[in-house]
Amino acid sequence: MSLPTDPDLSAEELRVLRSAGAWYAKYHAARMAELAGDGSAYAERKTEDYLALVTTLRKLGFDMALPDALRAREQPLGV
């Protein structure tokens, strides 16, 4: 999938994307905590994607908490 580098989204479009991302992250937090101890490639990929989502939402102003099982893998802002 190719995405534009500057999509020129309206304030309403950004609000909806932030809201949907936050809902998704909160909804899947328990599942991500379950996968934290799984060393499979699938679990690793899902965990990395989830951590990237939380980092992105934080950059957009959401105060997103991570499940305790993932805090050791937390990505600092700016990554």
pLDDT in tens, 29-78: 989 988 888 999 999 999 999 999 988 888 888 888 888 888 877 656 55
The arithmetic mean of pLDDT across residues 3-12, rounded, is: 77
Give the number of other CB atoms < 10 A from CB of residue 10. 8
Task: Tell me 45's DSSP state.
Answer: H
Residue 36's SS3 state is coil
Specify the pTM.
Answer: 0.76
Give the number of other CB atoms < 10 A from CB of residue 25. 19
Domain borders along the chain are 11-73
Please report the pLDDT score of residue 42 as a whole number.
94
Please report the pLDDT score of residue 45 as a whole number.
94
The dihedrals phi and psi of 43, each to the nearest 5 degrees, come to -65, -40
Please report the pLDDT score of residue 78 as a whole number.
52
